[in-house]
């Protein structure tokens, strides 16, 4: 899966994302400022649609 903001320059902000989360499993999403944590969570909750994949 890849994602680029529609209002941006078209460059992917997330690339080659592949997640397998089992039912009932708890995960944590960590990373530095600007690493895409909020974008990833928005994709998981379908607030955004992936541009590829």
Helix (H, G, I), strand (E, B) or coil at 52: strand
Q: Which pLDDT score is estimated for 45?
A: 86
Give me the pLDDT at residue 11, please: 85
Q: In the chain, what are the helix, strand and coil shares in percent, each to the nearest 5?
A: 15, 10, 75
At 1-53, the pLDDT tens digits run 888 888 878 888 888 888 899 999 999 999 999 888 998 898 888 888 788 77
Phi, psi of 43 (to 5 degrees): -70, -40
- Domain ranges for the chain, please list them: 1-53
H helix count then E strand count, the chain:
1, 0
How far apart, in whole angstroms, are the C-alpha atoms of residue 39 and residue 13? 9
pLDDT of res. 22: 95
Which pTM was predicted? 0.70
């Amino acid at each position: 899966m890849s994602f680029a903001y529609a209002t941006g320059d078209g460059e992917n902000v997330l690339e080659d994302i592949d997640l397998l989360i089992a039912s009932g499993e708890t995960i944590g999403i960590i990373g530095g400022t600007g690493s895409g944590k909020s974008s990833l969570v928005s994709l998981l909750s379908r607030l955004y649609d992936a541009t590829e994949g």
